[in-house]
A and B are shown apart, each in its own frame.
Chain A
Amino acid sequence: MKFKMKRSYLAMPYAVYLTLLVFVPMLFIVYYAFISDKTGGFTFSNIIRALSSSESIGTFFYSILYGALTTVICFVIGYPVAYILSQKKFKMNKIIVVLFIIPMWVNFLIRTLALKSIFYSMGITLGKGTALFGMVYDFLPFMILPIYTTLLKVDKNLIEASEDLGADPRTVLFKTILPLSVPGIISGALMVFMPSISTYAITDTLSGGKFQLLGSLINRSYFNNMGFSSALAIVMLLLIFLSMLISYRFTDKEELKGGGLW
């Protein structure tokens, strides 16, 4: 039989590359999580330490608390912005949306260091508050853009219908617009929450080393404790998987294909 070139074969290089450089390396994390750094033998101690040591439990607590805080603040600040921009009446709204995107092209470390310079010149001591401010500052566009694109797609007839049926502006907002923008809110929340618990560059730079989230702990322990670091990474992976499952329940599939934001 002659070898026939099928179009689906073209996906082979892509699939092989993805397997070799994304999935195989992740198996190494699993492997190292069960290997003792000292003896090189099989051990559960890394996993146990990642799940029960006071250091990692404290870090989990802080990560989820500050991740959630960042997400909520970004939502409270960002939703009105997205809503106003999605209204046709707002002049030059397309230009303003682009203006919100441009800073994302400037390296986030430059923006973070600029914030540090501002804090220094204003005499503000670095701590949890400044780190939180930095995370909100860096991740706010990730909240605004998905909500904005979802709000643009909302059927205006539904809003008019609820107005015609006698709903006052507040009811229209809470009973019609907000529920219809849930997919955007979920993907925005995901895009803020995930990086805010896994970043270490922002928190390390802007907290003055006063507190660490999960990302920082993984980064700090990998130098001398690869196994512990890998075990923590597995826990973080489970956390990501969990939040993705939750988001799948609320979002229409198209939105989650990653193209939504861009």
Chain B
Amino acid sequence: MVTPNDIVVKKKTSSGLDFYKKRKLARYIGNSYVYIILGIIYLPIILIIIYSFSSGPGFSNFSFSMSNITELFTASTSDSRRMITALEHTLFVGIISSLLATLLGTVGAIGIFGMRKKSRNILLNASNVPIFNADIIIALSLMLFFTALSIPKNAQTVILAHTAVTMPYVMLSVLPRLKQMNMSVYEAALDLGATPLFAIAKIIVPEVLPGMISGFVLAFTLSIDDFVIAEYTRSNSYETLSTYIYTQAAGKEGLSGALKPLSALIFLTVLAILIAYNIRKNLKTKNLQLKK
């Protein structure tokens, strides 16, 4: 005999099963969705790597050839020499401007941290301007500024511009570190007779070093990724990688020959650095856990 109680129990278990099945299905669909989006994002990059081994520009008609790769390393045509020079310029501008930005941003953050609330807020809000401003406005304004002061446009103008834009990012990544540290140690060093600069170098800088490093990396990536600001503040002969690539953009096939293996190389370098970094980080945390 079936009692109403049984029915209720039966209903409950079946809906419970459904519930878990549904959850599993939802998770399955969700995971596949993430992987599909990731696949679309990576498709162009994978094609770049594959077609590095094909002759000619773009992604049409795969025909195996190492010509583009040898071209990248021998730079026999004037076009690929231009590309290599542009790459060197990008790295030069990136390193110098992010070193400058790290110096100014870190010292600035220490100063801002020691300010009164009112003036600190003014500077913090002012720092948001280059972060939120559109590249093209910054670029146009700097171009007008350099032209009006008749400062010759060259590597140094691009470096000055990039430093201005990336410096606030360094400042913002150092500031949280300062908030975390114990300022009494600094005060104690002053009481024990250290000069302010010595105390800053020996006590504050070691504490904020991680923030400085991440600020530097961020500044460097912003600098090498920038196109618009470099385009407006450079001289015609001083090309960066971005501005060189843009001169190739008019071609109907997209990526030109030697640009493919170079792009693949850039991507693989970034990947290798990130993997190495993460392995090191994992090892560190494991060691910490072991010590505990």
**Which residue of B114, B115, B126 is within 8 Å of A18 (Cβ)?**
B126
Task: Tally chain A residues at the interface, Cβ within 8 Å.
Answer: 84
- Cβ contacts under 8 Å, A240 to chain B: 132-134, 137
Chain A residue with minimal CB distance to B126?
Answer: A18
Query: Contacts A10-B111, A198-B134: A84 and B34 contacting too (C-beta < 8 A)?
Result: yes
State the CA gap A112–B246 with chains docked (Å).
Answer: 10
Residues of chain A within 8 A (CB-CB) of B107 are 10-11, 13-14
Q: Is B160 an interface residue (CB 8 A)?
A: yes
Indicate the member of A112, A114, A137, A236 with the most B CB atoms within 10 Å: A114
The docked-state distance in angstroms from the alpha carbon of A90 to that of B41 is 20
**Cβ-defined contact, A28 with B144, below 8 A:** yes
Among A105-147, those with CB < 8 Å from B are 105-121, 137, 140
Q: Which of A21, A102, A218 contacts B160 (CB 8 A)?
A: A21
What's the least CB distance linking A148 to chain B, in Å?
A: 11
The answer to the question of B18 belonging to the interface, with a C-beta cut-off of 8 Å to chain A, is no
Q: Do the beta carbons of A29 and B137 come within 8 Å of each other?
A: yes
Contact B132 A118 (CB under 8 A): no
Chain B window 222-248, contacts with chain A (Cβ cutoff 8 Å), 1 for yes, 0 for no: 001101100000000000011001101
* A68 within 8 Å of B (CB atoms): no
The A-contacting residues of B in range 77-113, CB under 8 angstroms, are 104-105, 107-108, 110-113
> What is the interface of chain B, defined by CB distance below 8 A to chain A?
27, 30-31, 33-34, 37-38, 40-45, 47-48, 51, 57-60, 104-105, 107-108, 110-116, 119, 123-124, 126-138, 140-145, 148, 160-161, 163-164, 167-169, 171-173, 176, 196-197, 200, 214, 218, 221, 224-225, 227-228, 241-242, 245-246, 248-249, 252-255, 259, 263, 266-267, 270-271, 274, 278
- Listed in ascending order, the chain A residues whose CB lies under 8 Å from chain B are 5-15, 17-18, 21-26, 28-29, 31-32, 77, 80-81, 84-85, 89-91, 96, 98-100, 102-121, 137, 140, 190, 194-195, 197-201, 204-205, 215, 218-219, 222, 226, 229-230, 233, 236-237, 240, 244, 256-259, 262
